[in-house]
């Protein structure tokens, strides 16, 4: 069941464009949803598996988008002290790789900075980081064109030596690219979560003192998780830039982070399929709402749905529905409700 | 198992003091544990026992003094670094990873036993190591008698069984010395008896044990030596028989509330334990298993 | 030198409202352990209530201000009663996410009702600024500073001089013990959230007329309030008051001497710097561990 569902979903998604008859509006919605879902999967690695709520996740996504765009567009900036940096355009695929590396480095930096302090502090540091990056993107006009946006970003070109190369210009091509990257990220996360590293993350989330006492290095584990998570978000950002071919500082909006958080929490944080299901549901929800209501009203619905999920299905759609489908075994103890005696302080 | 000479201490607590603002939790604690011993640290509530454990395992930095383990000063080391030196602990209150199965708890506990790198994981090259770990986890569960509970959520276990998971987790780090923080609190008499056998079996494998416990009969029965703390100070140490008749110890307990007084009375009236140094440690594992099924 | 003086005066005026924002947020965090993501929306609400009271209701500027604050108080009480009370005992992430959801609803609701066009609140103050030597200040801004300081004073008096304040302080220390001593903790939570919200609304009602009123104005204000609270140490009221003025100073000097584009980045740079050098905030006292 747990293995069949992802495979069935993958098969369905792979066949979907045939059924859609290349409807550009729906394909576009699916591609942007897919890109955000990759972002949500990467956020889930932190939020779901380590329990650290990163509310600045969009920073890694946006950094990926800008690094990738600037690498493939080229730029020329004055750094002061008479130092000029001139960068000639590179292939977009290299931009993708650099986006992954740059976002990962930022993840490392944020991890080193903020994992000494957790909880509310971590949340606020990540938000702050995203705002600083947004303000840089807005104000460093020489590099980023500021609010005028970076335009004419080339499409990604995939090439294998000896086999020729393809430039991904059509929506269908981009759809399959996003699906492939998404599947790869899913598989990587699945491997990580089931490994020694995944157990260390779970241990830290469930009982940090105990995890330390069996020799798990908290700072290292969380920082590595942040690096991988940020790198994946950077990859999603790069896909976004090369698909839309235009990005502006609005790519860093807090609202996008909130969308990803809703996807993770709504789908089921700490589960592999949660962000995928949540991503599809909440990514496509605006498509369904669009004919019936204004964008402001859509956001009101989003907010209400988030609140409703937290009240009704606090663990998210996937675990919630799975719980409904599997009949409760007789005599099964309710989880997490072990009665423990009051601690005797000594 | 230990490299040091039998007489040199495996753990030495040297003039350790802990202050929180103006509050003195530990004034000046000074004692040694020799390899292979079972030592108990007792004292009324608020005497500083758990604080002492937190200092020894790196969860708290002492305001003064130093703890040495096998000759290494632990000052400034992080908890996970201290575990690597072979000093492991259990916790008084939360001894499990509640949302994971008992088996997965032990798998988490075996963290230090492989060095699988992330690259290996991503390429699927950690399979052999994982297989080895699973075998070890089964072995550990067998040792503490939790095999039948392997697939249950640890957070849903009875309190006594959660303590056993805690011990399995500590053992998973292959410690040379184990600190047990009130391991039998919440256990009934028969569970406690089985646990005593488990402690002896662990010691029989060469693991030194330091115990914080309120259950006086159990402490008197299992300990080679007892150290008594009161108001953050060591007021007595010695063999159980000496401690039982020590006027300072009786005074410390009588000075406390009625519960503590009762405990002291019970301790004082316990008949001398049958002096069989290792009473039937034949198969303590199966005994524990039976008890946990009861 | 004259320019510096002008910056310092601006700092005082901005700092007063920032302090209000920060105190409200830190009060809620300290007593309820809730990271209030509706704080920005309540700030926006305060500004819109001020606008409505002056224009639609014709209350007059000086009556509109207490009306807006009262509105914030009621709105806060409702949010606490409907959303937070049922969630008591759930983890901090859940309440944080519910607050994010509520913030989205409030902000989008404002946008839906009032539209995206910025409004300005008419004021009774003369347009000509007051000249004090080399420094010039508008009468409106002077009033804002005075009102902010008065509200800060009132909050202090409420916390330190009243029975409600005593109960709040007891709950802050240890809510279980407070409950045992007969404090109605649920009521204290509602009161705390309402008071914190009214302070956010007050900040919005005061700054709204100085600038303009628009639905997204709360977003940045909220992030700044987080910066102030981190600066002062989570839950530290005096720290938040001082933190408000420090942030205002950093913004004024940053905008004046570095680049006005990075004015809003100052708060976040401060957060990052504080976390690197003093993770518990600038004014943290020694905490008991364990």
- Structure-derived torsion over alpha carbons of residues A123, C201, C90, B109, reported in degrees to the nearest 10: 10
The Cα-based distances of A46 to A51, A319, C29, C93 in angstroms read 6, 18, 23, 13
- Please check whether residue A232 touches B, CB under 8 A: no
Q: Do C288 and B54 touch (CB under 8 A)?
A: no
C89, C93, C258: best to mutate for the A interface, most A CBs within 10 A: C93
Residue B3 lies in a domain: no
Residue B249 lies in a domain: yes
**pLDDT for the residue numbered B273:** 43
All residues of chain B having their beta carbon less than 8 Å from the beta carbon of residue A206 are: 97-100
pLDDT tens figures, A141-194:
878 888 888 888 888 877 666 666 777 778 888 889 999 999 999 999 999 998
**pLDDT for the residue numbered A103:** 95
With CA atoms as reference, report the closest residue to B56 among B44, B43, B70: B70
All residues of chain C having their beta carbon less than 8 Å from the beta carbon of residue B60 are: 289-290
Residue with tokens 């990540």: A126
**pLDDT for the residue numbered C207:** 92
Work out the number of other CB atoms within 10 angstroms of the CB of residue A143.
19
pLDDT band at B169 (very low <50, low <70, confident <90, very high): very high
* Contact (Cβ atoms closer than 8 angstroms) between residue A150 and residue A144: yes
**Region class of B185: left (phi > 0), else alpha (psi between -120 and 50), else beta:** beta
pLDDT tens figures, C94-144:
888 899 999 999 999 999 999 888 898 888 888 888 888 888 888 899 999
Burial of A285 (0-12, 13-18, 19+ CB in 10 A): middle
Q: How many residues does chain A have?
A: 346
Residue A344 CA, distance from chain mean position: 43
Residue B260 lies in a domain: yes
Number of domains in chain B: 1
Strand C135-137 to B87-89 pairing: unpaired
Give the mean pLDDT of B125-144. 89
The list of chain C residues with pLDDT below 70 reads: 1, 278-290
Distance from CA of A34 to the nearest CA of B (A): 23
**pLDDT for the residue numbered B292:** 41
Q: Residue A256: CB partners within 8 Å, gap ≥ 6?
A: A36, A39, A58, A61
CA-only gyration radius of chain C, Å = 19
Residue B121 lies in a domain: yes
In whole angstroms, give the CA distance from residue A329 to residue A190: 27
* Contact (Cβ atoms closer than 8 angstroms) between residue C47 and residue C204: yes
Please report, for chain A, the start and end positions of each structural domain, with discontinuous segments joined by +.
24-251
pLDDT band at B275 (very low <50, low <70, confident <90, very high): very low
All residues of chain B having their beta carbon less than 8 Å from the beta carbon of residue C290 are: 50-51, 54, 59-60
- Find the CATH number of the domain harbouring B268: 3.40.50.300
In whole angstroms, give the CA distance from residue A137 to residue A63: 9
Q: Do B80 and A217 touch (CB under 8 A)?
A: yes
Q: Which residue of A has its CA nearest to B47?
A: A346
Q: Which residue of A has its CA nearest to C102?
A: A303
Burial of A35 (0-12, 13-18, 19+ CB in 10 A): buried
Distance from CA of A42 to the nearest CA of C (A): 18
Work out the number of other CB atoms within 10 angstroms of the CB of residue C17.
26
Residue A324 CA, distance from chain mean position: 28
- B179: enclosing H helix or E strand: strand B177-181
Reading chain A (346 residues) residue by residue, the pLDDT tens digits are: 567 778 888 888 877 777 777 688 888 899 999 999 999 999 999 999 998 888 889 999 999 999 999 988 888 887 777 777 878 788 878 889 999 999 999 999 888 877 666 677 778 888 888 888 998 888 888 788 888 888 888 888 776 666 667 777 788 888 899 999 999 999 999 999 989 999 999 999 999 999 999 999 998 999 999 999 999 999 999 999 999 888 999 888 888 888 899 899 889 888 999 999 999 988 888 888 888 888 888 889 888 988 998 888 888 888 888 877 765 544 444 443 333 333 333 3
**pLDDT for the residue numbered B119:** 79
Distance from CA of A319 to the nearest CA of B (A): 14
Across chain B, mean pLDDT equals: 81
Strand B23-33 to B11-20 pairing: antiparallel
- Structure-derived torsion over alpha carbons of residues B170, B176, B179, B180, reported in degrees to the nearest 10: 60
**pLDDT for the residue numbered B259:** 52
Q: Which residue of C has its CA nearest to A134?
A: C265
Q: B16 phi and psi, to 5 degrees?
A: -80, 135
Residue C55 CA, distance from chain mean position: 24
In whole angstroms, give the CA distance from residue B234 to residue B227: 7
Alpha helix (H) ranges present in chain A? 4-20, 24-47, 57-73, 92-114, 120-139, 141-144, 171-193, 196-206, 208-213, 218-244, 254-267, 274-289, 295-312, 317-325
Give the mean pLDDT of B126-140. 89
pLDDT tens figures, C201-232:
999 999 999 999 999 898 889 888 988 988 88
Burial of C278 (0-12, 13-18, 19+ CB in 10 A): middle
Domain that holds residue B149: 11-293
Distance from CA of B48 to the nearest CA of C (A): 12
* Contact (Cβ atoms closer than 8 angstroms) between residue C171 and residue C15: no
ipTM for this prediction? 0.86
């Amino acid at each position: 069941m747990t293995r069949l569902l992802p495979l069935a979903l993958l098969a369905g998604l792979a066949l979907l464009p045939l059924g859609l008859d290349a409807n550009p509006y729906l394909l576009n919605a699916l591609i942007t949803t897919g890109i955000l879902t990759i972002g949500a999967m990467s956020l889930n690695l932190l939020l779901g598996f380590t329990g650290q709520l990163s509310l600045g996740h969009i920073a890694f996504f946006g950094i990926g988008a800008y690094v990738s765009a600037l690498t493939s567009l080229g730029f020329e900036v004055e750094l002061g002290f008479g130092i000029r940096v001139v960068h000639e355009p590179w292939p977009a695929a290299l931009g993708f790789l650099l986006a992954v590396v740059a976002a990962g480095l930022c993840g490392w930096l944020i991890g080193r900075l903020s994992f000494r302090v957790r909880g509310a502090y971590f949340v606020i540091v990540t938000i702050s980081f995203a705002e600083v990056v947004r303000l840089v993107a807005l104000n460093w006009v020489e590099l980023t064109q500021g609010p005028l946006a970076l335009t004419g970003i080339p499409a990604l070109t995939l090439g294998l030596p000896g086999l020729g190369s393809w430039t991904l210009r059509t929506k269908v091509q981009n759809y399959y690219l996003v699906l492939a990257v998404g599947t790869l990220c899913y598989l990587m996360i699945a491997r990580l979560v089931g490994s020694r590293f995944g157990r260390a993350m779970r241990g830290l989330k469930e009982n940090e003192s105990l995890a330390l006492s069996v020799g798990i290095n908290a700072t290292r584990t969380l920082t590595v998780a942040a690096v991988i998570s940020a790198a994946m978000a950077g990859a999603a950002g790069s896909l976004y830039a090369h698909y839309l071919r235009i990005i502006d500082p609005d790519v860093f909006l807090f609202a996008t982070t909130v969308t990803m958080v809703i996807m993770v929490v709504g789908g089921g944080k700490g589960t592999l399929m949660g962000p995928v299901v949540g991503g599809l549901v909440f990514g496509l929800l605006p498509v369904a709402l669009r004919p019936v209501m204004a964008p402001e009203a859509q956001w009101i619905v989003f907010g209400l749905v988030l609140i409703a999920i937290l009240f009704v299905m606090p663990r998210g759609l996937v675990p919630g529905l799975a719980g409904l489908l599997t009949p409760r075994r007789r005599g099964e103890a309710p989880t997490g409700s072990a009665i423990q005696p009051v601690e005797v302080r000594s | 198992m230990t490299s040091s000479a039998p007489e040199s201490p495996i753990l030495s607590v040297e003039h350790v003091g802990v202050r929180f603002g103006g509050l003195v939790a530990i004034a000046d604690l000074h004692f040694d544990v020799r390899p292979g011993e079972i030592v108990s640290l007792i004292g009324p509530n608020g005497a500083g026992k758990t604080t002492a454990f937190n200092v020894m395992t790196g969860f708290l930095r002492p305001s003064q003094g130093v703890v040495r383990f096998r000759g290494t000063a632990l000052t400034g080391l992080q908890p996970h670094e201290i575990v690597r030196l072979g000093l492991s602990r259990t916790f008084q209150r939360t001894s499990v990873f509640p949302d994971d199965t008992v088996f997965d708890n032990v798998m988490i506990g075996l963290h230090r036993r492989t060095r699988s790198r992330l690259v290996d994981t991503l390429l699927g090259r950690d399979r052999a190591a994982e297989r080895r770990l699973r075998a070890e986890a089964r072995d550990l569960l067998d040792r503490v008698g939790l095999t039948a509970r392997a697939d249950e959520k640890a957070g849903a276990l009875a309190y006594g069984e959660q303590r056993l998971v805690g011990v399995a987790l500590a053992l998973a780090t292959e410690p040379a010395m184990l600190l047990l923080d009130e391991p039998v609190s919440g256990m009934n008499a028969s569970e406690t008896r089985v646990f005593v056998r488990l402690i002896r079996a662990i010691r029989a494998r060469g693991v030194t044990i330091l115990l914080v416990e309120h259950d006086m009969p159990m402490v008197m029965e299992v300990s080679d030596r007892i150290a008594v703390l009161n108001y953050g100070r060591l007021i007595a140490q010695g063999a159980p028989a000496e401690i039982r008749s020590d006027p300072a110890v009786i005074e410390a307990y009588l000075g406390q509330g009625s519960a503590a007084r009762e405990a002291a009375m019970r301790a004082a009236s316990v008949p001398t334990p049958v002096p069989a140094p290792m009473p039937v440690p034949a198969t303590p594992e199966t005994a524990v298993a039976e008890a946990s099924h009861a | 030198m004259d320019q510096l003086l002008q910056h310092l005066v601006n700092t005082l005026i901005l700092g007063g409202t920032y302090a209000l924002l920060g105190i409200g947020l830190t009060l809620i965090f300290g007593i309820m352990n809730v990271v209030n993501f509706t704080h920005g929306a309540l700030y926006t609400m305060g500004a819109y209530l001020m606008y409505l009271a002056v224009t639609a209701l014709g209350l007059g500027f000086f009556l509109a201000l207490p009306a807006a604050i009262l509105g914030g108080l009621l709105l806060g009480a409702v949010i606490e009663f409907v959303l937070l009370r049922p969630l008591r005992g759930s983890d901090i992430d859940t309440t944080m996410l519910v607050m994010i959801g509520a913030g989205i609803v409030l902000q989008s609701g404002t946008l839906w009702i009032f539209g995206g066009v910025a409004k300005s609140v008419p004021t009774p103050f003369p347009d000509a600024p007051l000249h004090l030597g080399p420094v010039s200040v508008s009468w409106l801004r002077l009033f804002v500073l005075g009102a902010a300081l008065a509200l800060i004073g009132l909050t202090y008096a409420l916390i330190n001089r009243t029975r409600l304040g005593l109960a709040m302080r007891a709950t802050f220390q240890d809510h279980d013990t407070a409950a045992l001593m007969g404090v109605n903790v649920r009521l204290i939570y509602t009161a705390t959230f309402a008071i914190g919200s009214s302070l956010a609304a007050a900040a919005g009602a005061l700054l709204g007329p100085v600038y303009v009123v628009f639905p997204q104005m709360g977003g940045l204000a909220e992030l700044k309030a987080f910066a102030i609270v981190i600066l002062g140490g989570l839950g530290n009221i005096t720290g938040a008051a001082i933190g408000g003025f420090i942030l205002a100073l950093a913004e004024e000097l940053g905008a004046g001497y570095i680049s006005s584009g990075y004015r809003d980045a100052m708060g976040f740079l401060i957060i990052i710097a504080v976390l690197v050098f003093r993770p518990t905030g600038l004014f943290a006292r020694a905490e008991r561990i364990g």
